[in-house]
Amino acid sequence: MKRFYYILYCFLFGIIIQTHAQDIALYQQFNGRYDYTALGNTMNSQENGTTGPCTILTSSSASLSLDTNQNVIAAYLYWAGTHTGDFEISLNNINIIAERTFSDAIDADRVFFAAFADVTSIILDQGSTDYTVSDFDLNSVIAPYCSSGTNFGGWAITVIYEDSNLPLNQLNVYDGLQSVPEYLSITLDNLNVLDNDNAKIGFIAWEGDSSIAINEQLTINGNVISNYPLNPANNAFNGTNSFTGASNLYNMDIDVYSIQNQINIGDSSATIALTSDQDFVMINNIITVLNSQLPDATIIIDSYVISCGDHSIEVFYTVYNNNSTAVLPANTPIAFYSNSIFIDSSETLGDLEINTNESGSITLDIPEDLGASIIIIAVVDDDGEQNGIVTESNENNNSTYADIDLLLIPEITLLPNLLGCNEGFETSTYNLFNALETIDYNLENITFYRSIEDLESGLNSINIPTNYNNFSNPETLFIRLESTPCYEIYQFDLTTENCPPHIPEGFSPNGDTKNDWFNIQNLYDIFTNHELQIYNRYGELIFVGNNNQPWDGKTNRGLNNIDNTVPVGTYYYILNLNDSNYKPFVGWVYVNY
């Protein structure tokens, strides 16, 4: 992260000024059998100073030589110089445009720049060869800087490589642009020192002067580091390249130091301090190489499954042990959070070797009060209380997240009830589609169910909704209307009422099985408490019937007339339904044979 800050310092002429720079911070970390080398060159033809010529080169070259078992993993080009910046240069005639830029200043009139570009593809393509930076021209801007000896330009390439013969290391690339005098302190975080054997630290620095060595001292954790005679303890930044032994990199440094006696096993950070009473030095890049045998657990959410109306989510994930130098142990915990609330946990099943992965899944039950739009966060090496149990090379890359919209069903919509005539024992026949008269729909999107559970599962739908007989009175039914992205639910009741009976005007009880009884429609098994009275033309009661005894043309009342068949004629009836909604029906019926 870049941030701006101000420091006060005294320069060559004792002027107190303010400047801004970019703090040195971790840019990239590599874990494995890695090391690095660096190459580069100055654009100055001699060390700058008030007596030298006020000119600068526009190109310079340096050689890269790698062993056959050293495979390039990354290559970063840094270049820097006087003034506000030349951010488009060439590397072996390939156009390079700065991907990141840095700036620093002594005062308002003396500003400096640095730039960065990833040139991995070029180094991979061309390999061990000479590299030339060209089209880097500061001639038009250096004049105001020559009188104070601050005219400079230069470039360097950091090359990270993998070698199977190396121990397992953690290699950290830090960069920014910070300057000194009088005192500069830089804290390097994200270290993990398991073994300090062959530990080292390297720098790319600009504008150091070999002729200025007044109390110029480089320390790490308070211990002075040096590389005599190339980098003496009192003149660390003096125009040298530790990889080649060159001492003519005027006003720039590519230096590397052993720090195995200055850093301790277990250290997670180191403090680098640079003091100088006169020289103006800008640190652009720092690289540490430390033995480290640790896993590095990361996780991604591959996919998830959500169901309509369900607050459960099936999450599919993969745990990786990439960028690691040791096995990630089995049973490493995985915590899942929703909107910062712990939901559930899982764990890895087996040991994950270096650069391997393991996939798994978990069903998360999301609290309904979290709403429909949620964030699922998966954190590997988390016990559910944000505590890790595995020491890793990088403790800051254990989480991932997914934005998820649950497929929640809208509230149930109530429809008008369907009313049917009682066809017996409070049942009726319905066309269920009549409940949807106020809704636009396609037939293929409509399904009817007898319970909300069946509707949600899509099971046991009503097969013939156009000819449905109710099971109870009233009976509640549900409609599932498929619609994007899920479905809608409607609810209505079937109610059955006793409709008025239909009374025929005659019948013929002659035994031909046709119209042999006084068949009053919508009466039997509907008005089960009814009473039917039949009278002859003289007003004599000859028959009394009920739900279990319809009139078949025979008498059951009167002396000597029991079970006699009545003659042809007109008979009068009184039908009392014994229903408060209806008055007795009175009328006549003609009996004929």
Beta-strand relationship, 373-380 and 217-220: unpaired
Tell me: pLDDT of 110 over 90: yes
Tell me: pLDDT of 96 over 60: yes
Q: Which residue has the tokens 């050293």?
A: 70
**E-only strand ranges, 298-422:** 298-306, 312-320, 333-338, 341-347, 357-365, 373-380, 399-405, 413-414, 418-421
Domain 499-593: assigned CATH number: 2.60.40
Tell me: pLDDT of 11 over 70: no
User: Between vectors from CA 60 to CA 144 and to CA 138, what angle results, nearest 5°?
Assistant: 20
Amino acid 590: pLDDT: 95
Amino acid 265: pLDDT: 80
State which of 52-56, 406-410, 567-571 shows the largest mean pLDDT.
567-571
Higher-pLDDT residue of 152, 18: 152
Tell me: pLDDT of 53 over 90: no
Q: Which amino acid type is present at position 487?
A: Y
pLDDT tens string 445-476: 999 999 999 998 899 999 999 999 999 999 99
Q: Which amino acid type is present at position 399?
A: S
Amino acid 19: pLDDT: 42
Give the pLDDT band of residue 280 (cuts 50, 70, 90). Answer: confident
Give the pLDDT band of residue 6 (cuts 50, 70, 90). Answer: very low
pTM of the model: 0.60
pLDDT tens string 497-525: 988 999 999 999 998 989 999 999 889 98
Give the pLDDT band of residue 8 (cuts 50, 70, 90). Answer: very low
Mean pLDDT of the chain: 90
Q: List % helix, strand, coil for the chain (3-state, nearest 5).
A: 5, 45, 50
Q: Is 63 exposed, middle or buried (0-12, 13-18, 19+ CB in 10 A)?
A: exposed
Kind plus residue range of the DSSP H or E element containing 275: strand 270-291
CATH for 298-405, options being 2.60.40.650, 2.60.40.10, 3.10.450.350, 2.40.160.10: 2.60.40.10
Contact 54, 180 (CB under 8 A): no
Contact 219, 15 (CB under 8 A): no
Tell me: pLDDT of 278 over 90: no
Q: Which residue has the tokens 């989510």?
A: 313
Give CA–CA dist 344/479, Å, rounded. 35
Amino acid 16: pLDDT: 29
Tell me: pLDDT of 66 over 60: yes
Amino acid 7: pLDDT: 23
Helix, coil or strand: residue 377: strand
Tell me: pLDDT of 187 over 80: yes
Q: Which amino acid type is present at position 30?
A: F
Terminal Cα distance for the chain, rounded:
108
Question: Which residues, in sequence order, are bridge partners of residue 206?
Answer: 252, 282
Amino acid 194: pLDDT: 67
User: Between vectors from CA 288 to CA 286 and to CA 292, what angle results, nearest 5°?
Assistant: 160
Beta-strand relationship, 486-497 and 475-483: antiparallel
Give the pLDDT band of residue 90 (cuts 50, 70, 90). Answer: very high
Domain residue ranges in the chain? 23-291, 298-405, 413-497, 499-593
Tell me: pLDDT of 106 over 60: yes
60-63 sheet: strands from edge to edge: 60-63, 130-134, 88-91, 94-97
Please state the length of the chain: 593
Amino acid 2: pLDDT: 21
- Helix and strand numbers (H, E) in the chain are 3, 37
Q: Which residue has the tokens 């000896």?
A: 149
Give the pLDDT band of residue 195 (cuts 50, 70, 90). Answer: low
Tell me: pLDDT of 286 over 60: yes
Give the pLDDT band of residue 324 (cuts 50, 70, 90). Answer: confident
Give the pLDDT band of residue 14 (cuts 50, 70, 90). Answer: very low
Kind plus residue range of the DSSP H or E element containing 143: helix 143-146
Higher-pLDDT residue of 446, 32: 446
Tell me: pLDDT of 279 over 90: no
Give CA–CA dist 513/550, Å, rounded. 15
Amino acid 13: pLDDT: 29
Please tell me if the domain spanning 298-405 has the same topology as the one spanning 499-593.
yes
Looking at residues 356-385, what average pLDDT do you find? 94
Domain spanning 413-497, CATH architecture: Sandwich (2.60)
Tell me: pLDDT of 18 over 70: no
Higher-pLDDT residue of 282, 394: 282
Give the pLDDT band of residue 561 (cuts 50, 70, 90). Answer: confident
**Percent with pLDDT over 90 in the chain:** 68
Give the pLDDT band of residue 401 (cuts 50, 70, 90). Answer: very high
- Residue from 538, 540, 543, 561 nearest 553 by CA: 543
Q: Is 156 exposed, middle or buried (0-12, 13-18, 19+ CB in 10 A)?
A: buried
Amino acid 99: pLDDT: 98
Contact 156, 162 (CB under 8 A): no
